[in-house]
Amino acid sequence: GYWEETRSPFASAGLNDATMPHELVNTGTNTFTFKQISYTDRESGDNDTNSHPSFVGEKITGGFFHNNRLGFLSKDNVSMSRAGESFNFYFKTAQTIIDSDPIDVSCSSIVPTKLHAVLPTAQGVILFSAKQQFILFSDSGVLTPGLSTIRAISNYEMDEDVQPVDVGTNLNFITN
């Protein structure tokens, strides 16, 4: 015999594709298809050892792609997929955390924070809320579940209706 890790029979398979973000695919010249994405099911563990990403049950307020990971914002959380597996938000194993596993971190602030915009940069991922800006980064330069950190970088008010813009040497955003 042998031991094979699997998902608990009492845990859900994972994300509901119908309620998750969909994709718009360019299928030809001036032709697009809007379709549902097949997100990867949880393969191991249960709700304690391999829990749902923090955006489950919450409104997703932003999405981005950075360092071969798909990311979503919700409330004060940033959730990023497994490295190289854009539609997989679950750990490979419930036994340990590996560098390619999903990243799910929260902003820490004395001001109520609701993230609504994001700009990936070479230094890290810049996160925007109505009254504060943050950076998601790693001292090693590589984002991993164990090394990723979010730090506040400024306290400017920002209009939530206008997305920030990266203009090369500056990041511009509108304030009231």
- Note the pLDDT tens digit of each residue in 18-46: 999 999 999 999 999 999 999 999 999 99
Whether 1 shows a pLDDT value over 80: the answer reads: no
Tell me, what's the pLDDT at 112? 85
Tell me, what's the pLDDT at 2? 73
- Note the pLDDT tens digit of each residue in 97-108: 999 999 999 998
- Note the pLDDT tens digit of each residue in 132-149: 999 999 998 889 999 999
Tell me, what's the pLDDT at 108? 86
Tell me, what's the pLDDT at 3? 72
Q: Exposed, middle or buried by CB within 10 Å (0-12, 13-18, 19+), for 101?
A: buried
Mark residue 140 as left, alpha or beta (left: phi above 0; alpha: psi -120 to 50; beta: remaining): alpha
Q: Considering just the CA atoms, what is the radius of gyration of the chain in Å?
A: 18
The number of residues making up the chain comes to: 176
